[in-house]
Structure 1
Amino acid sequence: MNPLRKSRLAGLALLPLAALTACGGTPATTGTPSGAPAKGGTLVFGVNTEPLNLDPHASPQDVTGLFTRPALDSLVSLDDKGEIHPWLATSWKISPGGKTYTFKLREDVRFTDGTVFDGAAVKANLDHIVDPKTRSQLAAAAFGPYTGTKVVDAHTVEVSFAKPYSPFLAALATAYFGIQSPKSLAQGAEALAKKVVGTGPFIIDAFTPHQGITYHRNPAYNWAPQGAKHTGPAYLEKLQFKVLIEDSVRLGALTSGQIDAIASVPPVSVKRVEADPKLAITRRQAPGGNYNYFPNTAKGVFTDPKVRQAFRDGIDFATIVGKLYFGSFAPASSPISPVTPGYDKSTETQWKYDAAESGRLLDEAGWTGRDAEGYRTKDGRRLTVHWPFLKALAREQRGTLAEQVQAEAKKIGFEVHFDDVTANDFAPKAISGDYDLVDFSWQRADGDALRNLFAVSTIPSPTLFGQNLARYRDTEVDGWLGDALATTDLTKRAGLYAEVQRKVIDDAAIFPVYVFTYLLGTNRSAHDIGWEPQAYPTFYDAWVAKA
């Protein structure tokens, strides 16, 4: 047993997905007027990032779901309590062995290009996700052991898996499994990267990189998911996302009334916005993987668990996060957030900042020397961590956070070297394992996010761009993750996921940083902005008050 291993069952506590409704904040509206919502108008939404590829089946970025959800519906929907509801599918059955899902489909739906929605369309979409030509990263990782879809008749499909796969319905509810027109899919990857066509309440007009995206209302829409506040077409005539990377520019556009809502209110400005009677903030903790750092456990300095623990415990992440984000983001203790099914609350006391213990562990690991610049050395080698950092895609001041971590790491003897890379540069490094540390968040409304992050089968390779960038291999963890896939018992799954969390923390296979919380800012014109499972805003029920 690893010498860092502790009792995994002590203090076990679980928090259900229902906690999503308790993560605080005011509603996404200010001074809601009485009477029916206003129809028509345009809602302008300022965002701080954008997708490189608009096809959610192919894109590796979770933000793609925000941009495509207005245009794409899913077969099922997921509510805040973790319950699945009909959407484009009216009902479903799971076979006794858990390997086959049979869906009955709506018969009154058309894609916005006029194509009929039917079983063949569903098959085309699911097969598109796993097609090697799609090079799917995010969606395929949530698909598990998919073997194929059979069209039983025009409005019935059977989706099969090689093994039981209990997270399937929750994954199916996300925008990454949004159903696209087969006619659109046939146009190929280049066209899909710029525009997708679905059955949703909005139709994409144009996506202009670095500027934004515009939509107009689908007048024929009449198949909203259960839980929506209304039926029929969306209230808004038009919807526009503007890419405003700079925090000050985005906030200024909101406070001046130039736009109706913004993503990611700068934490330093939260109190100012809350004090303004014309504005409001809604907070929404995201489920799935937190913003974490992942050490390469297979190659380099972090193959030694003592060195990994020394880095994690020798940096006061809680204080850095608290000061940088002014309390808007909670420091993380586990790989997954507190609103994720199976979250283990006992991880909050499982490890702590301890610079003295960090030094002792480095001494035990043989890094006893110090060079002229104060870095630890061993056999004439400096204790250097190479970190390929995607500065161009960094959001929420993650670059500033990384620099502060770099400074704190130097105090305990680590040299952190940032390798400035592009998205194209990063992929080969990820596949080959040419790094010591990487950083990312991984939003999923299911504890199965842990499988993406730590299963041996998700280690990146030339044939699969998986998310196990820690390159972590543990047969016990793989066993728990496999057992969780095979059961639909939520209590059993939660217990298995708790075991995984405590083991990877014991092994210091992850450095939790912060829990991403969506800070939605709105002015008095915007009302009834909703939320989807990944904690991104939705606009089907939204409306704007007329001046």
Structure 2
Amino acid sequence: MPSSSRKLWALALPALLLTACSGAEAGDSPTASTGTPVSGGSLTFAVNTDGSCLDPHQSPADVDGLFSRPILDSLVSLSADGTIHPWLATEWSVSADQLTYSFTLRDGVTFSNGEKFDAAAVKANLDHIVAPATKSQLAAGTIATYAGTTVADPTHVQVTFKTPNSAFLPSLASAYLGIEAPSTLTKPPADLCTHIVGTGPFTSTGGYSKGKGIDYARNDAYNWAPGTAKHTGAAYLSQLSIKVVPEDASRYGALTSGQIDAIASVPPVNVAQLKNTPGFTVQAAAAPGGNYNYYPNTAKGVFADANVRKAFREGIDWQTIVSKLYFGQFQPAKGPLSPATVGYDKTIEAAYAYNADEANKLLDAAGWTGRDGEGYRTKNGARLTVRHPFLKAYAREQRDTLADQIQAAAKQIGIFVDNTNPDINAYLADVGAGNYDLADFSWQRSSPDALRTLFGAENAPKGGFGTNLSFTSDPAIDKDFTDALATTDLTKQAELYGDAQHRITDAVAVFPVYVFNYLLGSSTKVRDVQFEPQAFPTFYDAWKRP
């Protein structure tokens, strides 16, 4: 396939702002390896968030994509400049109407259980993703208009869509559309949540254990690395372990005491200290996609009034809160997308400025002119209350402290933010029914099509989990998304996604909070940990210096 064909979606994805700082040896960082890679050894990596389901066909969680990636390969890989590279597929072409994708597959690839990878396996996986029984919370949405897959022969397959989907290739590169062994896909979804089988560079016989993590062993037969990798053949590491250590001090202490080799989410307060500690290094990768945002329920409740939404957006000094809490390690967000995302429109940033005087005027105009004994605004005797179900057990990056500070800031303009702490089942039930005023989550995705996931009308909760938690419903916004999926003209795509960001901003459908930086701390013995464009660390190229 001509190399130009691999840039069908190459929107000139900006570099992920990858940086590395070393305390002991200047320039001696995991991204700038010196010396010859060593085969063997083990690496223990601690994350701050537990997963929910190892099967990325089901789960939308960032950490589940991280857990599944060592096991699952994808048909294509995506580099930081937006170029699509071969992986399990060696060549591909797209029909002029953007409805049919034709792939030539690698021959001789096997799953770790001995099954052969072929065109039938591709069909089985895509069919599994969209099957109602899978209850996919993300993957199915990326191929929402999937029409089916036709197997021509073992190494040739065609994937068709009902409507154009120019975002299919970058979505296909993610772990969420990773390829699993076909025989395992007939198992109950709950079984796949703990154990999956792929063609990847690592296997996991023990599977994922909630609250503990997952252990991997090298797949010695692996010989089909992605085109974005730094080497071919088997992984360097013999063993890899990812542990769940939610408490920041415990995770940081385990790293600095030498109990583990690397950690996710170095506490921002400790980043400068770790950079200056001999023998340790910090890598930072700015995540594209949705920031960590708060989303108002625009369909009902207090935020159905656009003036109240605008007052909440303008009456809280989000930028100062973020800058102080995270010691400058996380950039305050100023739009629905991260600046690291292709198509980010900087011209909307002024709309997210702090203006407490204007916020108070808006609340007065909305009729919230009374005050109760605690200083909160009232109307017709009712307090201005924002219901915010906040899952404290799943909080990371001090989001619980952040929620408290936002609550205190909202009180200054007379709004009571009720940060409840429901269990996960109650939370999902309330979200599905729209029984909330405010929701919060982050959404790391390498494509600007993340906007459609977050604000497309079809993705609003309908009795179950949805990703459009603001209940945004604007035909003009949806048309932007549809038209963007129908074109590969990069200039046109930028115009469409830019227009969508302006309309989302005008609708006050999001309260941007912070741009997530993946802060990975490690011993300087750890080399060549790489990052996917979604800012997930990968370990195929990683090795350890003796």
Q: 3-state DSSP class of the match of 2:15?
A: helix
Quote the residue 2:15 is aligned against.
20
* Whole-angstrom distance in 2 between the partners of 1:340 and 1:35: 33
Tell me whether 443-452 or 427-436 shows the greater mean CA deviation. 427-436
Which amino acid letter does the alignment assign opposite residue 539 of structure 2?
F
* Whole-angstrom distance in 2 between the partners of 1:230 and 1:333: 38
Q: Is the 8 A contact 1:28 1:282 kept in 2?
A: no
Report deviation, 1:32.
Answer: 7.2
- Matching of residues 239-278 of structure 1 within 5 Å: 239-278=240-279
Tell me whether 332-341 or 345-354 shows the greater mean CA deviation. 345-354
Quote the residue 1:341 is aligned against.
342
Tell me whether 415-424 or 195-204 shows the greater mean CA deviation. 415-424
Q: Is the 8 A contact 1:29 1:522 kept in 2?
A: no
Q: Is the 8 A contact 2:181 2:197 kept in 1?
A: yes
* Whole-angstrom distance in 2 between the partners of 1:30 and 1:98: 39
Q: Is the 8 A contact 1:293 1:440 kept in 2?
A: yes
* Whole-angstrom distance in 2 between the partners of 1:49 and 1:204: 19
Report deviation, 1:465.
Answer: 3.1
Distance 1:183 1:504, change over 3 A: same
Q: Is the 8 A contact 1:17 1:340 kept in 2?
A: no
Distance 1:34 1:356, change over 3 A: closer
Quote the residue 1:58 is aligned against.
58
Which amino acid letter does the alignment assign opposite residue 109 of structure 1?
V
Quote the residue 2:3 is aligned against.
none
Which amino acid letter does the alignment assign opposite residue 191 of structure 1?
D
Q: 3-state DSSP class of the match of 2:338?
A: coil
Q: Deviations over 1:115-173 (max 9, x none)?
A: 00011111111011111100000211222311111111111111111100110001000
* Whole-angstrom distance in 1 between the partners of 2:460 and 2:43: 41
Q: 3-state DSSP class of the match of 1:269?
A: helix
Report deviation, 1:287.
Answer: 0.9
Distance 1:114 1:330, change over 3 A: same
Quote the residue 1:48 is aligned against.
48
Q: Is the 8 A contact 1:16 1:339 kept in 2?
A: no
Which amino acid letter does the alignment assign opposite residue 24 of structure 1?
T
Q: Deviations over 1:304-349 (max 9, x none)?
A: 1110000011000000000110000000011110111110011222
Structure 1 runs not aligned, ≥5 long: 1-14
Which amino acid letter does the alignment assign opposite residue 545 of structure 2?
A
- Matching of residues 353-502 of structure 1 within 5 Å: 353-462=354-463, 465-502=465-502
Quote the residue 2:38 is aligned against.
38
Report deviation, 1:77.
Answer: 0.3
- Is 1:101 matched with 2:101? yes
Q: 3-state DSSP class of the match of 2:240?
A: strand
* Whole-angstrom distance in 2 between the partners of 1:31 and 1:169: 26
Report deviation, 1:400.
Answer: 0.6
Tell me whether 515-524 or 424-433 shows the greater mean CA deviation. 424-433
- How many residue pairs get aligned? The number is 531
Q: 3-state DSSP class of the match of 2:20?
A: coil
Which amino acid letter does the alignment assign opposite residue 15 of structure 2?
L
Q: 3-state DSSP class of the match of 2:393?
A: helix
Task: Give the fraction of aligned pairs with identical amino acids, expressed as a percent.
Answer: 55
* Whole-angstrom distance in 1 between the partners of 2:457 and 2:35: 55
Q: 3-state DSSP class of the match of 2:521?
A: strand
Distance 1:388 1:34, change over 3 A: closer
Tell me whether 355-364 or 142-151 shows the greater mean CA deviation. 142-151
The CA RMSD measured in Å over matched residues stands at: 1.5
Q: Is the 8 A contact 1:58 1:136 kept in 2?
A: yes
Q: TM-score, normalised by structure 2?
A: 0.95
Q: 3-state DSSP class of the match of 1:22?
A: coil
Q: Deviations over 1:16-56 (max 9, x none)?
A: 65432435334883697753211100011011112111100
* Whole-angstrom distance in 2 between the partners of 1:174 and 1:351: 31
* Whole-angstrom distance in 2 between the partners of 1:16 and 1:480: 17
Runs of 4+ residues deviating >4 angstroms: 30-34
Q: Is the 8 A contact 2:20 2:31 kept in 1?
A: no
Q: 3-state DSSP class of the match of 1:322?
A: helix
Report deviation, 1:263.
Answer: 0.3
Q: Is the 8 A contact 2:526 2:544 kept in 1?
A: yes
Q: Is the 8 A contact 2:289 2:338 kept in 1?
A: yes
Quote the residue 1:7 is aligned against.
none
